[in-house]
Amino acid sequence: MIKVVHALGGTLQGGVFNMVFNFNKPLSKEVCFVYLVMKDNVKKDIIAEIEKNGGEVVILPNFRNFLSYIIFLYIFYKKNCKNIDVVHVHNPNIGLFDFVFARIFKIKIRVLHSHSDKFSRKYFNSLLNKCVNNLLNFFSTNRLACSKNAGLAKFKSQERFDILLNGIDLEKYRFSERERKDFKSNLNLHDKIIIGHVGAFISIKNHVFIIEVFRKLCLLSERYHLILVGDGELRHNIETKVKDYGLEGRVLFLGQRNDVEKILNIFDYFLFPSLFEGLGIGLIEAQALGVNCFASNNIPKETNITDLIVYLDLNVQTWVDAIITTQPVLLTNRPKYNKILQQTNFNVINSSKQLLMIYKGD
């Protein structure tokens, strides 16, 4: 069995972790996934799910305790290097040390994965991350990107990387009219038009824009309700803005969830106005469930798989006009979109075959 260490940045949540875990399942008979997680991010239910699928979790000291972190990492690679076949780095900010130790202890395959087309929005951080990225490039043997833009941003030339699409488990993302009805009933949203978003409450996700769009929609109809899934440092700010606008009764904050597919099932419209994205996996998940999607022009066009996505400039009235002139997909038509995705590499069964070849060194 191939053993692969995933340097995720120390957390078992978010889009990158979900992508890795999606690959874990179809590859569990041939690949053992080892997740490195920092001590203060341990979640027992998630660890249990990983172990259920044949994975392992290694708990590291927090990166802020820099010396303890480095010593632990050094001992880990020294002790386990003969059993590790691949080191797969997803977070360039701290993954450099994984690559250095992997090189020292002669781990042959070192995969560097770009999940974003930006280094940082802050000038100094961007400069620093570019320098780190150059070192990571030097130590890596393989380079992957979730989109063309994400690859060009980190690796410059298209010949230097392969695109690995973020495959999802399409069995989970099957539309169910019965589940939709039951879920809406539980939330007391029987006849409401559901606007939704899934994403961390961080600046690049642009929640402020979503609220401004929703505010204008509320002036047009009382049927519109907004559901926000996720958590993060800016959640309180957005909750405050919702209260300031008097929209508390029409906005649901559902927090971090492990049943996103059930929530997407009740969406009529999915808003994704990010300032930048490596890909935007939420758009893929929403399309699999037949949800109309509105995305900013900053989103990579690899997400354009069906006829459900409209890309727009970040102008509030433009988005409002687009939403009110777009009829939600008929419930009877929504299952067909899952079938469309099954034929693409967004089907994790297909994309995992590509990843396995890389891990084997083919």
Give the model confidence (pLDDT) of 114-166 as tens digits: 988 776 666 556 676 677 778 888 899 999 999 999 999 889 888 899 999 99
Angle between helices 235-244 and 207-218 (to 10 degrees): 20
Q: What is the mean pLDDT of residues 260-273?
A: 97
Mean pLDDT for 295-316 is 96
pLDDT of residue 12: 86
Q: Which pLDDT score, from 0 to 100, does residue 208 have?
A: 98
Identify whether the C-beta of residue 311 lies closer than 8 Å to the C-beta of residue 301: yes
Closest CA to 358 of 97, 69, 161: 161
In the predicted model, what is the mean pLDDT of residues 59-71?
A: 93
Average pLDDT of the segment spanning 340-348? 95
State the pLDDT confidence band at 255, using cuts at 50, 70 and 90: very high
CATH superfamily of domain region 2-167+346-360: Glycogen Phosphorylase B; (3.40.50.2000)
Structure tokens at 126: 């961007």
Backbone phi and psi for residue 302, each to the nearest 5 degrees, phi listed first: -60, -20
Region of poorest pLDDT, from 38-47, 180-189, 311-320: 38-47
pLDDT band at 13; cut points 50, 70, 90:
confident
What is the b/e burial string over 58-79, where b = at least 16 CB atoms within 10 angstroms of the residue's CB? Answer: eebbebeeeeebeebbeebbee
Residue 193: pLDDT band with limits 50, 70, 90: very high
233-240 long-range Cβ contacts below 8 angstroms, 24+ apart: 233/201, 233/202, 234/201, 234/202, 234/203, 234/207, 235/201, 237/201, 238/201, 238/207, 238/208, 238/211
Q: Give the mean model confidence (pLDDT) for residues 271-300.
A: 95
Q: What is the mean pLDDT of the chain?
A: 93
pLDDT bracket for residue 258 (50, 70, 90)? confident
> Does the structure show a pLDDT above 90 at 226?
yes
CA angle 259, 260, 264 (to 5 degrees): 130
Mean pLDDT over residues 164-191, rounded? 95
What does the pLDDT read at residue 153? 87
For helices 207-218 and 316-324, what crossing angle results, to 10°?
A: 50
The confidence band for 44, taking pLDDT boundaries of 50, 70 and 90, is confident
**Which CATH architecture best describes the domain 177-342?**
3-Layer(aba) Sandwich (3.40)
Domain ranges of the chain: 2-167+346-360, 177-342
What pLDDT is recorded for position 137? 86
The number of beta carbons lying within 10 Å of the beta carbon of residue 284 is: 23
Query: Helix crossing, 348-360 with 15-27: angle to 10°?
Result: 80
pLDDT recorded at residue 29: 95
How many other β-carbons are positioned within 10 Å of the β-carbon of residue 176? 16
The per-residue pLDDT for 123 is 54
CB 63 within 8 A of CB 85: no
Topology alike, domains 2-167+346-360 and 177-342 = yes
